[in-house]
Amino acid sequence: MSGNISAANVEETLRDFWATRPRRPHDGRKIAGVAAGIAQRYQIDPVIVRVAFVAMALCNGAGVLIYLLGWLLLAQADDEVSAAESLLGRGRSSTPTALTILLGIAVIPATGFFVDGGFTMVGGVLLSVGSIYLLHRGRGQLNRPDAPAFTVGEPVSTDDQTTARVSPPAWDPLGAAPFAWDLPEPSSSTPAAPVVPAPRQVRRRSRVGVATFGAAMVTLAGSLVASSYSPWFTFEHVLGLLVAVFGAGMVLGALRGNGGRGLLWLVVPMSVLGVALTSIDFDGINPDRIGSTNAKPTSVEQVDARYTTSIGEVDLDLTGLPNTGSVTTEVEVGLGSAKVRVPADADVTVTCRAELGSVACLDKKSDGKDSHVEVSSNGADGEGGLKIVLDVRSEVGDVEVSRG
């Protein structure tokens, strides 16, 4: 290869990165300290590193894969080796062995091999290696860990009380008295020069932000044109491309030492919107059905087969029904909450689901993504009387079924 970049240079840079790789600090971490460690090692804003991970996470989850690998391969600040190296018996790590094994197992689905044929693995690894090379090549000299002490010809243990000198002191330039090199340097009678405050540096205006915004606009225009020829260019995918462009601009601005951080106000809301669009199914939301629905039927015939709203709340009170008969109904909410109250003595069979939210279904609860609870309860009087079959769900929001 021509120029300054060659295979030897890349290999040397990656070797130096591994030898001086970041350590995960205890302070400033959000999860495992991977982003905080990278930011601390290369003296860049940790927010930029976290945004870069979010941007890569939108690209088929590559950011999740890279974060898991960082968790496994980067040691904590006070550990001898990383969690993965400790599992191989190469030193001490405070990460529990069980957690290390779980992280290693989690790497397998994060590669995307069983979902998209390994695109995540290939793309994520190539992107991470390229980013590490550029980052370490530009800022690898910053905040390097202390080198071990050496004598002439052999290493000295860091556990020793004293550290041998590798060069003669100023008072013995010929090295005639090495036995006395541990004596302190004689003090100089020359008065110290007065400390003059350094002139205030004027921060140069960076062109990175303007250039990145221009590149994002070109990407947006190209995506709009390409959407006429390929169905891949959906709103979610185009948003992911824009986040990637802005994230690359922020990283470039951080490497140059100025500029780029102003893009944060664009990247963060776009990243949040991108995660929401890729995590939530909005197919069930109909703009024609927006608002709250409240119903309290007093007879079996008054109970509708289905109660729905796209955005709002459904509050269904069945406590006024008689103690005989059978009722089957569904409650579906796109964005909002679904609440159902049933009589204390009714025999109830209910299925509660929430794509993203919390579920409290009689005496069972579930929180998070894809919450799902199924309950059958005969009430306080045992089996017999009114029978109710419910299917209550919400795409995004809370689901609650309780006895009146």
What's the DSSP call for residue 76?
B
Q: What is the pLDDT along the chain (404 residues), one digit of tens a residue?
A: 444 556 667 778 878 888 888 989 988 888 888 888 888 888 888 888 887 777 777 666 677 888 888 889 999 888 888 988 888 888 888 888 888 888 888 877 776 655 554 555 566 667 677 777 788 888 888 878 754 433 333 444 444 444 445 556 666 555 555 555 555 656 555 555 566 565 555 555 557 777 888 888 888 888 888 887 888 788 877 887 887 788 777 777 766 655 556 676 777 777 767 666 665 555 545 555 677 889 999 999 999 999 998 888 999 999 999 998 999 999 999 888 999 999 988 999 999 999 888 899 998 888 877 888 999 988 777 888 899 999 999 988 899 999 98
Cα dihedral 144, 145, 148, 149 in deg (nearest 10) = 70
Q: Which residue has the tokens 């300054």?
A: 4
Instruction: Give, in order, the Cα–Cα distances in Å from 330 to each of 175, 327, 336, 338.
Output: 91, 10, 15, 11
pLDDT for 164: 47
Tell me how far apart the alpha carbons of residues 89 and 75 are, in angstroms, rounded to a whole number. Answer: 14
Q: Which of 233, 234, 262 is nearest to 250 (CA)?
A: 262
Tell me how far apart the alpha carbons of residues 150 and 174 are, in angstroms, rounded to a whole number. Answer: 20
pLDDT for 53: 79
pLDDT for 156: 40
Report the run of H or E that residue 278 belongs to, with start and end.
helix 264-279
Q: Which residue has the tokens 């109970």?
A: 303
Q: Which of 314, 311, 308 is nearest to 290 (CA)?
A: 311
| pLDDT, tens digit, 9 for 90 and up, residues 295-305 | 999 999 999 99
pLDDT for 161: 40
Q: Which of 385, 388, 386 is nearest to 375 (CA)?
A: 388
* Average pLDDT of the chain, as a whole number: 76
Buried b (16+ CB within 10 A) or exposed e, 154-172: eeeeeeeeeeeeeeebeee
Q: Is 200 helix (H, G, I), strand (E, B) or coil?
A: coil
List phi, psi (to 5°) of 367. -130, 155
Residues 6 or more apart whose CB falls under 8 angstroms from that of 11 comprise none
Q: Which residue has the tokens 């069980």?
A: 98
Q: Is 182 helix (H, G, I), strand (E, B) or coil?
A: coil
